[in-house]
Structures are given as structure tokens and as C-alpha cells.
Amino acid sequence: MHPGATPPGRPAPQPTTEPPTVELTVIVPTRNEAGNVGPLLDRLGTALLGQSFEVLFVDDSSDATPQIIAAQAAARPFPVRVIARPPARRNGLSGAVVEGMDAAAGRWLCVIDADLQHPPELIPRLLTQANRTAADIVVASRQADWLGPVGLSRARALTSQTLTILARMVFPRVLKNVSDPLTGFFLARRAAVDTAALQPQGFKILLELLARHPDLRVTELHFDFSPRHEGQSKADLNEGMRFFRHLTRLRLTVNQHLIRFLVLVALVVAGNLALLVGLATGAGWPVLRAAAVAGGATIVAVLLGEAWVFSDRPRGPARRRLAALLLLGTLFLLLVYLPAIWLLAVRWGLPYPLAGLAAMLLAGLAYYALSEQWIWTRGLMMQPRASTTYDIHGLVTVASQVPLDDLAHFETAAPPPRIDLQLRVDRHGTPSRVPGAICYDEHLGRFGFGLTIIPGDFTEIVVSPLLETSPAFLYTNVVEPVLRWLLLTRGYALPRAGGLVAPGPGDGRAVLISGPADMGYGLGRLCAGGRLAFLGDDRVLLGRDRRARSFPKPVTARREMRPPHGAARAAVALRLQRLLYSPPVRRLGLWLSERRLPAATVNTYLQRLIPQPKHPLDALVPGVVYAEAAAPVALLLDGGERSLEAAVERLLDEGDTAFGFQPYPLLVGELARWGGRDWAAEERAILTAALAGCERIPWPPGERWWEQVEEVIAYGLSQTSRLRRELVTTTL
């Protein structure tokens, strides 16, 4: 069928020349739902009070449902319409939804069942999510456990879970951002949906919509599935069989490359076996030499065939694709194909054609299992991954599927009402590239470093599964630069400085320290026994209100600090970490990064194998007290220049040694000019205002620099002008 043609059996959509008259159309497909019409309209009216919306019923009933809808419509303050379809036009729930989409007047289309198992009260949240994330579709996914959706009978839940797994295996890329692709409750942007491309069949219209619109931006919210209010479920065995037929038809019609791919596989297998048998039998070559030549020829054939199969797609750099294919092909040739040929043909004596076919099948299965096409068991399930939530001084809230030890101080027991930063792990492996987003991908699938960041009022970070294995590296290189930018949008800066609070009027007096690396040990000595309160060892929040707020991340353990897992273990980990950050290793990493090689992937694996020995300061030093906020009265700067401008620049100096690897420079550079604003200039303005009344003391920190800080506090912070000269003199 021509892409622009209307499928047979469906009335052609009427062209609209005027803009939509309402913001939202709620589309309700009904079949014998007379008892649910009134309660549904009551709840919709309450939930959407004050909003511009209409309700459109598309009815296939054999009872009085259309008459009841018409009677209810007259008593409602919002538009209620009904399309009563004659028997000849009834093509299932999906067909009813598509017909409703064609007739809708709203800019947004919300599809909801009439049985009240989908709560109408969730619709405003779906709209908010769509506007905040610029999404094309917001899916209302049912809460689920390992058996399937909660709220269904266990048999129906298991059936739904099984169908979800099957659908996700057939469409791994399209469905990777949706935990419940079979839900009947979702919101769609009308302009993003081409109803002429849809070929509805059965109950699952969302699956059809997602499969035929693979480039739409999709987000989701979860809800509790309610018991049915009236009537009976329409799902039965016939609907299950129709789903299987629908899934098969979708797979064959959506993927225009499938036929070419199958032809390529057949030619490659036939060519490999012919060459193997010809060289081993006809030419008398040793079987392993013949297999090596046949395998090499197969790699070349796959490269040429891949270019033919996907000839209509934009291609990346040819050199990179060729290098990746040669690398993977050589690995599978040496590690899978040749050992299998040796085992089957040489040791077991199987005929060459059978051994070659079995070896190719084994190599193909291994490639499939290790490639980003594979969906692991957890990713197949409907059960959504839990998130840990954090509230940073009421300024920014974070929800992360990966627990972040660096934000543990801000962890909340209950989810906050609003989430500003959402971090999730991509089910599939490689996060989708979204127009307007910041994307970084080292092209290694689920085993490599990849991320997509969609900034905005609601900011989303999507990372490849590898990054959840190294939360500290994920936080430092991905989350913190985004968090720093988000705080700037709220008027706060997160400079690189340590801090502590001395007793004084109000909340006390904050002393900020910039210069020494690994300040945790020194600040721990100063804060031991509650003498001073701890703000942070390498980050402190500063605002225009001239307040320093705490940002207490875990600190690096040293032998003297009695780490909870043993001093010897901490010492070994610290030595290994210092080796990772030694000049030769760092030069190698920077060399990889500059040539767009997978430096971030290598770094992630190294940090996973040798995690930093970091712990909360109060777990290392007895009696440590954490401060929340205080007015900064002194800033100790290593170096001679003490002007306000120089102090600001010093606090913003991240240092290439620690942050020269991708993706950190990319994220900082992109976020600094996001939305057309100069956020770097605004950060400087915030710090300038925050430090305007703060004494700036230049000092060359010595080996026991914390004793110098203690002297400043002991003399009295009100005398810092006189002490500045003494401090510099005594430490030179």
C-alpha cells in the first residue's frame, strides 16, 4: 500500500483547514460500556477542570451505550461527542482509536479505556510531562512486578508479561524506552502522528503507533491499575491470536530491510560453505586454513552486503565502520568460528558442510548475544526499575536508577513532588539520539560508553548499561556537570572548593579553601570531635544571597583515617588510583580521547575494577558534624593574586589533569551555551556576588596546611586583614 493511502475499511480522514479548537481530545473507545459512561465523564470533568478539552467516544456497542453518551453530553460543561460505528466499519479497538484520532480537534490526543481501570486523574500529569520534556508520546505504564501488571489476575498478568517480552524481542530498539508497550493509556501529540501510516488490528494500538513512528520521542509515567468498574474485559483467546498475527505483520512491513537482510544471510552462508568445502576437499588444504580463508571472505562479504542492505540510511565515516567490522569479524573468527570448526570437523569428524554450518550458526548466536540487539532478562520485563531520589537544598531534585554515593547526603525517603533531573539506564544499550540533545557514543553498544542528555526544565540523562557498574565515574563525568548547569539556572554556583563552618553568630562563619588536592584528610582533622562543621571537601554551593551551602561528597580514605574496610585495603586502592592518574596513563587516555577512540569506555572499566576508596567523612573521622549553610567570611587561595576576579577564576579552574577526558569537556562546553545563554558568564556573576563580602587570603599551602587554617580560625576571623600578612610570612 502507498504510504499516503488510507487503509481499506477506514473512512478517509477529512482535511482540516482551521487550527484545533481545543488543547486536548480524550479518545474513549467503547463497546457495551453503558454503566461506565457517567462515572468516567464525572472524573474527567474533575481532573481536567479549567483545561480546554473535549471527550470523543468511538462506539462499537450493541447495547444503549451511544444513547447514554448522548444523554450525558447534554449535561456536561465540556464538549462530548460520539462516533457510533456501523457493524461494517467495526475493526476492533485499535481501529476505533485511529478513527477517533482522525476526527479529533485537540492538539494533544489522550487514549483511555472506558472501564475506569485507567485513572483520568493522571491525564494532567501526562500533559505536564509532555510539555516539560517536549515528548511526542507519553505512555502511562502499568505498575508491574516480575509476573506482570499489578491489578490483573495472575494468569492475565503473566500473559501480558509474556506478550511484552515477545514484543520487545521483535522490536528491541523501538520499545526500549517503554516498560509497558501494551498499555491502552497514553498521550500523543497530534501533529506527530500520521494516521494514514497506521494499519490497526486488535487491541494494541500503542505498539502499532510506536513501530510505525520509530523516531518519535517517548517518555512514560507509571500508575496503579484499578479494578474494572462495570462490564467485562474484551480480551480473550481470539484477541491473543490476533496479537501474534499483528506482531508478525508489523515486523514484516515495518522493517523494509528485512528481505534484503535475509537474502544477504543466505548468500553469505552459501558462499562460506562453498569456499570451505572447495578449499578443504577440492584443493586439499588443511581444514583450519580453508576455514580461515572462508571466514575472511565472509567478513568482506558482510561489509559489502551491509552497505547494500542499508543503502538508504545515512552512513558514518567509512573508515570507522570498516575498522569496527574488521575488529569484530576477526575476534569472532579467532575466538568462535575457527575453534568450532576444529572441534566439529577435526576432533569429532563431522562432514565439512555440517561443521561449517554449525560453526557459522554458533558465531551468529554469539554475535547476537553480545551485540546491542540483545535484550537481557531484566530489560525484557515490564517491571520498571526503581529510582533513588535526592533533594539538594530544595533547589534541584534528582531521581536516578543508579544509586549515587556522591549524593547520598541528600537522599530522600519519599519521592519529592517534582523531579528536575532524571537519570535512567537504557534498556537496549545505546541511548537514542534525540534532536536537540547532547549525545556522546563510543559505538560499543551496551558494553561501551554512551549517553544522551536532554536539557530543559525537566532534564533527562540516558546512559548505556556499562555506566551503572561504575557509579562514581558516572557521577563525576556525567551527572555533576549537568547538575552544575541546573543549579546555575536556579541562581547557584557549584565551584571547586572545600569548606567548613566555625562557631559564630547565626549559623556560624564559613571558611572556603581552594588549592590543596585531596582535602578530605585535612578537613577531617579540623572537624574531628565536632570542633568545626563540615561543608564539603571539593564542592560548595554558593548563591547571590552570600550563603555557602553544604555539598558533602564522600572523601578519599587514607590509612590514618581508619576506613571502615581496613587501612591496608584503602592504602592499596589509593596506590592503584594514583597509578591510574599518573602522567603516562593520563597521557595515553588523552591521546585516545583526542582521536575519538573509546577513552571513556576504557576509563569506566578501570574505575570499575579499581574503585576509589571513598567514604562519608563521618564514617572515617569520629564526631564529625555536617553544616547546612553559613555566610562565607574567608576564602583561602593558593597563589599570590587575591583580587575578586582572580578568586572567581581560581574557583572555576577544574584542571585538565582531572577533567580532560571526554565526555566531560563536551558536556561542559555544550551546557555552557545551552538555550543561547552564556551560562559561564552567569556563573562568574553569581560567584562575584557571593564572594563580595568575603576576605580573600592568599597562601602557599604547606604539607600540614590544615594547621594554617586552624591558626586563621584561632586568631579570629574578624582579624583576617591583619593575619593575612602573618599567614603568608609564616608559610613561605
Tens of pLDDT, residue by residue over 105-126, are: 999 999 999 988 899 999 999 9
In this prediction, residue 377 carries a pLDDT of 44
Mean pLDDT of the 283-294 span:
91
Alpha helices in 494-597 (DSSP H): 520-527, 567-580, 583-594
- Beta carbons within 10 angstroms of residue 296's beta carbon: 15
Mean pLDDT of the 314-336 span:
69
**What percent of the chain is predicted at pLDDT more than 90?**
31
Per residue in 611-643, pLDDT (tens digit) is 777 889 988 888 899 999 999 988 888 766 678
Residue 589: pLDDT over 70: no
Residue 17: pLDDT over 60: no
Residue 18: pLDDT over 70: no
Q: What CA–CA distances, in Å, run from 115 to 30, 34, 38, 510? A: 9, 10, 11, 59
CA distance 277 to 345: 12
Residue 203: pLDDT over 80: no
Residue 681: pLDDT over 90: yes
Question: Cell numbers 582531572 label which residue?
Answer: 658
3-state secondary structure of 131: helix
pLDDT band at 2 (very low <50, low <70, confident <90, very high): very low
CA distance 524 to 534: 8
Measured in degrees and rounded to the nearest 5, phi and psi for residue 398 equal -130, 135
Q: How many residues does the chain have?
A: 732
Which residues is 391 bridged to in the sheet? 397
Residue 554: pLDDT over 80: yes
- Lowest model confidence (mean pLDDT) among 262-271, 343-352, 472-481: 262-271
Per residue in 462-477, pLDDT (tens digit) is 898 889 889 988 999 9
Mean pLDDT of the 221-245 span:
62
In this prediction, residue 1 carries a pLDDT of 39
- All three cell numbers of 49, joined, read 477542570
What one-character-per-residue DSSP string does 640-688 give?
S---HHHHHHHHH---HHHH-STTHHHHHHHHHTGGG--HHHHHHHHHH
Best mean pLDDT range from 175-184, 242-251, 306-315, 408-417: 408-417
Residue 596: pLDDT over 50: yes
- Counts for the chain of helices (H) and strands (E), in that order: 26, 26
Residue 721: pLDDT over 60: no
Per residue in 61-80, pLDDT (tens digit) is 888 899 999 999 988 999 99
Residue 360: pLDDT over 50: yes
Per residue in 483-510, pLDDT (tens digit) is 999 999 999 999 999 999 998 888 888 9
CA distance 682 to 358: 63
pLDDT band at 371 (very low <50, low <70, confident <90, very high): low
In this prediction, residue 227 carries a pLDDT of 57
In this prediction, residue 629 carries a pLDDT of 94
In this prediction, residue 533 carries a pLDDT of 94
Cis before residue 286, ω within 30 degrees of 0?
Answer: no
In this prediction, residue 16 carries a pLDDT of 41
- All three cell numbers of 674, joined, read 545551552
CA distance 155 to 425: 30
Question: Cell numbers 553569581 label which residue?
Answer: 686
In this prediction, residue 689 carries a pLDDT of 94
In this prediction, residue 361 carries a pLDDT of 85
Q: What CA–CA distances, in Å, run from 76 to 69, 109, 279, 615? A: 11, 20, 81, 60
- All three cell numbers of 710, joined, read 586552624
Sign of CA dihedral 128, 133, 134, 139: negative
User: Does domain 22-254 match CATH 3.20.10.10?
Assistant: no
Return the closest-CA partner of residue 352 out of 406, 288, 395.
288
Average pLDDT, the chain: 80
Radius of gyration of the chain (CA): 31
CA distance 709 to 537: 14
375-378 contact pairs (CB < 8 A, 24+): 375/168, 375/169, 375/172, 375/176, 375/427, 375/428
Alpha helices in 231-351 (DSSP H): 237-254, 258-277, 287-309, 318-332, 338-341
Per residue in 377-396, pLDDT (tens digit) is 455 555 567 889 999 999 99
In this prediction, residue 574 carries a pLDDT of 60
Contact 519, 616 (CB under 8 A): no
Per residue in 507-521, pLDDT (tens digit) is 888 999 987 777 888
Per-domain residue ranges of the chain: 22-254, 258-370, 385-490, 498-546+622-731, 555-615
Question: Cell numbers 541511548 label which residue?
Answer: 431
Chain-centre distance for alpha carbon 195:
29
Q: Name the more confident of 152 and 95.
A: 95
pLDDT band at 572 (very low <50, low <70, confident <90, very high): low
Sign of CA dihedral 304, 305, 308, 311: negative
